[in-house]
């Protein structure tokens, strides 16, 4: 089976950041050590910047090399805390989620995915990954909440997800999976989409990627083949 492997833009150049940061730090420290005068504020700022570059490179290097795997049967979002699978039969559509309140329109910096059956998705989702995604994507969700609740009347369950959930088909979930299911429910109420793929996990801009996913739904083999060319 052919499988396309996509690398997120945010995961690239980790080694380069660490190497440049380490060289700059070594040069600064050598220069300071060979000089008799005290270290200056400028040199402290430069050393701090070099340390930040090393840290940023290290964090980038800890992410999976490939963020998305796509074949003719499913999309797999690869996260260092687990994988998220969306089968082609369960994929309804993709687009750019937005929130409208009066004259204000906010487009989220992510690709939204609408599912046909959330139970199929939730049964394969690990609690560890669900908990991590709740934290990582909270800032995106709160951007939508902020626009929608501008008048101050905001449902409390939108700010703190309950730890129990009953799906439309009657399945009961608890714990982190239930909290993630409630986030999906609230996100759909706000934007019409069940899931988010933030821009930093994609290999191209959100508009092109959402179009790619919709093409994949119609003709998986053709899209996977084009990604491999």
Q: What local confidence, expressed as pLDDT, does residue 15 receive? A: 65
pLDDT score of 63 more than 80: no
Confidence grade of residue 10 (pLDDT, cut at 50, 70, 90): low
Q: What is the pLDDT of residues 175-221, one digit of tens each?
A: 999 999 999 999 998 899 999 999 988 989 999 999 999 999 999 99
Query: Is pLDDT of 61 > 70?
Result: no
Please provide residue 114's backbone torsions phi and psi, each rounded to the nearest 5 degrees.
Answer: -100, 130
What tokens appear for 152 in the block?
Answer: 């101050």
Indicate the burial class of 5 (C-beta count within 10 angstroms; 0-12, 13-18, 19 or more): middle
pTM metric for this prediction:
0.78
Express the helix, strand and coil content of the chain in percent, nearest 5 each: 50, 20, 25
Q: Cβ atoms within 10 A of the Cβ of 17, count?
A: 20
Please tell me the predicted confidence (pLDDT) of residue 23: 77
What is the pLDDT confidence band of residue 151, given thresholds at 50, 70 and 90?
A: low
Q: Give residue-wise pLDDT tens across range 92-111.
A: 999 999 887 667 788 899 99
User: Could you give the C-alpha distances from 133 to 2, 82, 165, in angstroms and in order?
Assistant: 28, 10, 17
Phi and psi (nearest 5°) for 68?
-140, 135
Does 26 or 190 have the greater pLDDT score?
Answer: 190
The predicted pLDDT at position 11 comes to 64
Burial 73-86 (b: 16+ CB within 10 A, else e): ebbbbbbeebebeb
pLDDT value of position 175: 94
Residue 217: the pLDDT is: 95
Residue of higher predicted confidence among 65 and 53: 65
């Amino acid at each position: 089976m052919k499988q396309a492997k996509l690398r997120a833009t945010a995961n690239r150049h980790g080694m380069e950041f660490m190497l440049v940061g380490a060289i700059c730090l070594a040069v600064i420290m050598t220069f300071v050590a060979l000089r008799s005068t005290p270290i200056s504020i400028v040199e402290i700022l430069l050393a701090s910047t070099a340390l930040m570059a090393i840290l940023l490179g290290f964090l980038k290097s800890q992410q999976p090399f490939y963020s998305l795997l796509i074949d003719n049967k499913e999309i797999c979002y690869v996260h260092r805390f687990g994988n998220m699978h969306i089968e082609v039969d369960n994929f309804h559509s993709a687009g750019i989620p937005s929130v409208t309140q009066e004259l204000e329109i906010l487009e989220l910096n992510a690709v939204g995915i609408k599912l046909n059956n959330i139970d199929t998705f939730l049964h394969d989702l690990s609690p560890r990954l669900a908990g991590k995604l709740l934290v990582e994507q909270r800032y995106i969700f709160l951007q939508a909440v902020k626009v929608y609740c501008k008048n101050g009347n905001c449902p409390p369950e939108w700010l703190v997800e309950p730890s129990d959930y009953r799906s439309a088909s009657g399945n009961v979930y608890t714990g982190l999976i239930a909290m993630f299911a409630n986030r999906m429910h609230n996100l759909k109420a706000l934007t019409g989409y069940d899931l988010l793929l933030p821009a930093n996990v994609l290999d191209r801009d959100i508009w092109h990627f959402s179009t790619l996913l919709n093409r994949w739904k119609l003709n998986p083999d053709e899209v996977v083949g084009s990604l491999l060319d």
